Amino acid sequence: MSGFIVPQLQLFLPNHIAMETRFLSETVGTHQTNALAVANSEADVATNNSADFERFKQRFPAEAQRLQVLWESDLIPHAQIVVRREYSPELRNRVQAFMTGYGRAKGPRGDAERVVLKSLHDLAGFVAADNSSLEPAAKLAYQLAKQNAMTAQWVNDAARQARLQRIESGYAEQVSVLKDATP
């Protein structure tokens, strides 16, 4: 999301910049390795997200001083943890209870779990969610597909319209599944 979809949707496509042809090369890595590549003059530009960039600045203060933030996106949703719908409701509820209770206990067990959470991007814990929490990510993917179809070169307008219709119906089906599915 923060490495491709959001920059493509909010920065590059609206400004008619074809990422794939505008840059001489592309390196795929973690947010940290990409930021280090820019700081060490191995790459010209990198994408990141706010949380990872804050950790980067703490861990690599000298390298962070060599970077300049050029653009910031709108806020994007955090990642979700999902479980397969085919599992029994009892198992799904147990997994959700474990995840939402993790790090909330008192005493040594809770203390140990909070240490683990802190080491995982400084998390405070997990909150319960349902399938509707996936809708923002689905919408971003839909918007990107639609924007790509609108700016692509087509044999004729009918081909473009057919692609746009497939994108619309695919997105409508995805939203329907997310709304109709039981948590």
Question: What does each C-alpha distance from 167 to 6, 125, 140, 156 come to in angstroms?
Answer: 18, 36, 12, 17
Predicted local confidence at residue 58, as pLDDT: 92
**The predicted structure's pLDDT at residue 75:** 77
Q: Which of 86, 76, 96 is nearest to 141 (CA)?
A: 76
In this predicted structure, what is the pLDDT of residue 182?
52
For residues 65 and 177, what is the distance between their CA atoms, to the nearest angstrom?
46
27 or 141: which leads in pLDDT: 141
Strand, coil or helix: 137: helix
Domain boundaries of the chain, sorted by first residue: 1-75, 89-128, 131-183
Average pLDDT taken over every residue of the chain: 88
User: Which is higher by pLDDT, 153 or 78?
Assistant: 153
Query: What's the average model confidence in pLDDT over 122-145?
Result: 87
Q: What is the pLDDT of residue 95?
A: 95
Which pLDDT score is estimated for 181? Answer: 66
pLDDT value for 157: 92
The torsion of the CA quartet 164, 169, 170, 171, rounded to 10 degrees, works out to 90
Query: What pLDDT does 93 receive?
Result: 94
Q: Give 105 or 183, the one with higher predicted confidence.
A: 105
CA atoms of 63 and 153, how far apart (whole Å): 41
* Each residue's pLDDT tens digit, 39-57: 999 999 999 988 889 889 9
Q: What is the CATH class of 1-75? A: alpha beta
Q: What is the pLDDT of residue 18?
A: 79
Q: What are phi and psi of 181, to 5 degrees?
A: -70, 145
* Contact status, residue 128 vs residue 83, Cβ threshold 8 Å: no
CA 70 to chain centre: 19
Q: What torsion, rounded to 10 degrees, do the Cα atoms 55, 61, 63, 69 define?
A: 60
Mean pLDDT computed over 107-125: 88
